[in-house]
Amino acid sequence: MDYAKESLRLHGEWKGKIEVVTRVPAENKDDLSLAYTPGVAQPCLEIQKDVNKSYDLTRRWNMCLVVTDGSAILGLGNIGPEAGMPVMEGKCALFKAFGDVDAFPLCIKSNDVDEIVNTIYLISGSFGGVNLEDISAPRCFEIEKKLKEKCDIPIFHDDQHGTAIVVSAGLTNALRLVGKKFSEAKVVINGAGSAGISICKLLLELGIGDVVMVDRKGILAPGEEWMNPAQKEIAEKTNKEQLHGDLKAAMKGRDIFVGVSAPNIVTAEMVSTMADDAIVFAMANPTPEIMPDEARKGGARVIATGRSDFPNQINNVLVFPGVFRGAFDVRASDINEEMKIAAAKAIAELISDEELSEDNIIPKAFDKRVGPAVAKQLQKQQERPVWLGSRIVRVRSTEQSICILVKK
């Protein structure tokens, strides 16, 4: 099928992929008086007294804002906010289909960090969380940081954290398959933008052995003048052997290659210089850094891409619906590192030892178990054991209250 041609035709027919549907009847005078004036004044007054009632008396508890400035749409670059709308609508449709989250697109006509932050902050009271999407690096780091400081709802940049979570889940199972320890594995990540740096950070949190990051100008290492601030920061935490050079040099002896970069930049010969039982995650879309058959020629044992027409698709749809579902269900005010680790663990554990193989290290995108499993794991993570006198209890915290569950 010619997906580009057929998708364009269907978009013309659909005239949008999402719509607003009422949850209440509007058939008579009483219906109108209860859903709208005069009855609606009472919930307004309750929220005025306690703004947190907005979660109980409106749909805010389940509403996610999906935001872009159009600066990094797919692999198309800065094509503008209006041109990014089809992607944002698609994201909203996936939120509903896989997490039962009500999501709404917002395409902002500005690339200015403070304008974007202020715009989102001013309307944040209408939403339970914010998903940042397709915003170019390094501005995306600053936008997320400032929003987390200003807002009291979860802020999640899916291009960073969604990718990091699903990659970590896949690598956990790939290493399990080849019999290598996470703490001893050596990784090379090609592409030191938002996704690559976030993948690196989460792998370090999980205790990976060593990571070398590579960008267009070479290996990230302290002292390299061409690095941006985010790259300089991650360079201080990686590259234990202080390597310098290009991607070819960085891949030698590595157990794992992770690509979030550009098409056809890795050869079978380069893969052949990696360690035995090499793992190759070539995720550039639509054309990966190396095609699976070429990676196999180079000796790779486990191969994953971002495409649905090859085994082991690394797809963020395994992450963001369940992450927001879980965060919304416990009314979390943040999606922290522990929650990201919990999400990666939940996805990885869905592949049993019996199911695990070179072509099956990660659940399929349409696996209905994934969203609920991720949400449940995030909810469990929000409960933590503490001592209370002589008894062990579990504390579940939300922004509104602390619930103490006593184990008798």
For 277-330, the pLDDT digits (tens) are: 999 999 998 899 999 999 999 999 999 999 988 999 999 999 999 999 999 999
31-40, 206-215, 392-401 — which is least confidently predicted? Answer: 392-401
Domain boundary at 153, 185, 203, which? 153
- If DSSP codes are grouped into helix, strand and coil, which group holds residue 129? strand
Distance CA 349, CA 362 (A): 9
Distance CA 93, CA 95 (A): 5
Cβ neighbours of 179 (radius 10 Å): 7
The residues that are catalytic are 36, 91
Domain boundary at 153, 179, 212, which? 153
Residue 64 resides in a domain: yes
Distance CA 241, CA 221 (A): 10
Q: What percent of the chain has pLDDT over 70?
A: 93
Distance CA 230, CA 193 (A): 9
Angle separating helix axes 158-178 and 194-205, nearest 10 degrees: 50
Residue 281 resides in a domain: no
Residue 334 resides in a domain: yes
Residue 270 resides in a domain: no
Tell me the average pLDDT across 380-402. Answer: 49
Tell me the average pLDDT across 129-135. Answer: 96
Domain boundary at 153, 170, 201, which? 153
**Torsion over CA: 313, 371, 193, 279 (sign):** negative
With residues binned 3-state (H G I as helix, E B as strand, rest as coil), the percentages for the chain, rounded to 5, are 45, 15, 40
| Residue-number span of the structural domain to which 99 is assigned | 11-153
The amino acid that residue 402 corresponds to is I
Residue 71 resides in a domain: yes
Q: How many domains does the chain contain in total?
A: 2
Residue 15 resides in a domain: yes
What pLDDT does 400 receive? Answer: 42
The tally of CA atoms less than 13 A away on the side-chain side of residue 116 is: 29
**pLDDT band of 383, cuts 50, 70, 90:** low
Q: Is 68 exposed, middle or buried (0-12, 13-18, 19+ CB in 10 A)?
A: buried
Angle separating helix axes 320-329 and 158-178, nearest 10 degrees: 110
Nearest to 254 by CA among 238, 231, 277: 277
CATH number of the domain enclosing 92 = 3.40.50.10380
Residue 327 resides in a domain: yes
**pLDDT band of 182, cuts 50, 70, 90:** very high
Tell me the average pLDDT across 66-92. Answer: 94
- If DSSP codes are grouped into helix, strand and coil, which group holds residue 195? helix
Q: Tokens representing 172?
A: 């956990």
Residue 353 resides in a domain: yes
**pLDDT band of 389, cuts 50, 70, 90:** very low
